[in-house]
Structure 1
Amino acid sequence: MKNYLALTLLLLLALTVHGQISEENNDKLSNNIVSNEKFEKVKKMALKVVSEGFNAGDGYREVWIRDYNTFINIATKVYPKETLRENLLVFFRMQADDGNIIDGFTPVASIGEDDTDFSYSELEPRYAGHKNTVETDQETSLVQTVYKYIKATGDFSLLSEKVGDKTVAERLEWSMDYLMEHRFDREHGLLWGATTADWGDVQPEHGWGVDIDKNTHRAIDIYDNAMMVIALANLMEIMPESREKWATIKLQLEKNIRKHLWDAEAQKFIPHIYLEGSPFPEDFKENEIFYFGGTAIAIEAGLLTHEEIEHSLNQMVSLVKQAGAPSIGLTVYPPYPAGYFANKIMNPEYSYQNGGDWTWFGGRMVLELVKNGFVEEAYREIQPMVDRVIENDGFYEWYSVDNQPRGSGTFRGSAGVLYDAIVALQESNNTKN
Structure 2
Amino acid sequence: MTPGYCRGNKGIQINSYSMKIQSSFVWGLMLFAVTGTAQVKRTTDETSAEKKAMAYFPFVKSKALEVMKAGFNAGDGYREVWIRDYNTFIELAAQVNTPDVLKENLLVFFRMQGDDGNIIDGFTPAEKIGKGETDFSYSKLEPRYAGHKNTVETDQESSLVQAVYKYIQVTGDSSILQEKIGDKTVAARLEYCMDFLMKNKFNQQYGLITGATTADWGDVQPEHGWGVDLDNNTHPAIDIYDNAMFIIAMNNLMEMLPATRQQWEPIKNSVAANCRKYLWDKKNQKFIPHIYLKGSPFPAGFKENEIYYFGGTTIAIEAGLLTKQEVKLSLNEMVKRVKQAGAPSIGLTLYPPYPEGYFVNKIMNPVYSYQNGGDWTWFGGRMIQQLIKYGFIKEAYEQVLPMVKRVKDNNGFYEWYSVDNKPRGSGTFRGEAGVLYTAIKMFDEVKK
Question: TM-score, normalised to structure 1's length?
Answer: 0.93
Q: Distance in 2 between matches of 1:220 and 1:413?
A: 25
Query: What is the match of residue 120 of structure 2?
Result: 102
Q: Distance in 2 between matches of 1:26 and 1:303?
A: 34
- Cα drift, residue 51 of structure 1: 1.3
Q: SS in structure 1 opposite 2:355?
A: coil
Q: Distance in 1 between matches of 2:236 and 2:54?
A: 46
Given candidates 76, 90, 95, the residue that maps to 1:58 is 76
Alpha-carbon contact 2:118-2:157 (below 8 Å) kept: yes
| 1:286 pairs with 2:304 | yes
| 1:329 pairs with 2:347 | yes
Alpha-carbon contact 1:33-1:429 (below 8 Å) kept: no
Q: Distance in 1 between matches of 2:53 and 2:232?
A: 56
Q: Distance in 2 between matches of 1:371 and 1:391?
A: 28
Given candidates 164, 182, 201, the residue that maps to 2:219 is 201
Alpha-carbon contact 1:197-1:354 (below 8 Å) kept: yes
Given candidates 243, 264, 272, the residue that maps to 2:290 is 272
Q: Distance in 2 between matches of 1:171 and 1:302?
A: 26
TM-superposition CA deviations, 1:300-346 (whole Å, max 9, x none): 00100011000000000000000000000000100000000000000
Query: What is the match of residue 48 of structure 1?
Result: 66
Q: Distance in 1 between matches of 2:424 and 2:298?
A: 27
Seen in structure 2, the aligned counterparts of structure 1 residues 369 and 31 have a Cα distance that, compared at 3 Å, is: closer
Question: TM-score, normalised to structure 2's length?
Answer: 0.90
The size of the alignment, in residue pairs, is 413
Q: Distance in 2 between matches of 1:350 and 1:366?
A: 22
Instruction: Give 1:123-202 correspondences, 5 Å limit.
Output: 123-202=141-220
Given candidates 426, 433, 444, the residue that maps to 1:408 is 426
- Cα drift, residue 35 of structure 1: 8.7
Q: Distance in 1 between matches of 2:324 and 2:225?
A: 41
Sequence identity (%): 68
Q: Distance in 2 between matches of 1:309 and 1:421?
A: 17
Q: Distance in 1 between matches of 2:358 and 2:62?
A: 41
Alpha-carbon contact 1:363-1:418 (below 8 Å) kept: yes
Query: What is the match of residue 22 of structure 2?
Result: none
| 1:393 pairs with 2:411 | yes
Given candidates 359, 362, 367, the residue that maps to 2:385 is 367
Given candidates 250, 253, 270, the residue that maps to 1:235 is 253
Q: Distance in 2 between matches of 1:354 and 1:45?
A: 28
| Amino acid across the alignment from 2:328 | E
- Cα drift, residue 250 of structure 1: 0.3
TM-superposition CA deviations, 1:134-164 (whole Å, max 9, x none): 0000000000000000011011100000000
- Cα drift, residue 46 of structure 1: 0.4
TM-superposition CA deviations, 1:362-381 (whole Å, max 9, x none): 00001100000000000000
| 1:300 pairs with 2:304 | no
- Cα drift, residue 50 of structure 1: 1.0
- Cα drift, residue 425 of structure 1: 1.3
Seen in structure 2, the aligned counterparts of structure 1 residues 390 and 239 have a Cα distance that, compared at 3 Å, is: same
Q: Which residues of structure 2 form unaligned runs of 5+?
A: 1-29
| 1:341 pairs with 2:369 | no
Alpha-carbon contact 1:33-1:426 (below 8 Å) kept: no
Q: Distance in 1 between matches of 2:50 and 2:298?
A: 47
Q: Distance in 2 between matches of 1:229 and 1:192?
A: 13
TM-superposition CA deviations, 1:74-114 (whole Å, max 9, x none): 11100000000000000000000000000000000100001
Q: SS in structure 2 opposite 1:271?
A: coil
Which range is displaced more, 28-37 or 124-133?
Answer: 28-37
Query: What is the match of residue 7 of structure 1?
Result: none
Given candidates 365, 372, 378, the residue that maps to 1:354 is 372
Q: SS in structure 1 opposite 2:414?
A: coil
Alpha-carbon contact 1:34-1:426 (below 8 Å) kept: no
Alpha-carbon contact 2:84-2:159 (below 8 Å) kept: yes
Alpha-carbon contact 2:53-2:397 (below 8 Å) kept: no
Q: Distance in 2 between matches of 1:130 and 1:177?
A: 20
Query: What is the match of residue 10 of structure 1?
Result: none
| 1:319 pairs with 2:317 | no
Alpha-carbon contact 1:207-1:344 (below 8 Å) kept: no
Q: Which residues of structure 1 form unaligned runs of 5+?
A: 1-12
TM-superposition CA deviations, 1:203-231 (whole Å, max 9, x none): 00022000000000000000000000000
Q: SS in structure 1 opposite 2:427?
A: coil
Query: What is the match of residue 4 of structure 1?
Result: none
Alpha-carbon contact 2:53-2:405 (below 8 Å) kept: no
Q: SS in structure 2 opposite 1:120?
A: strand
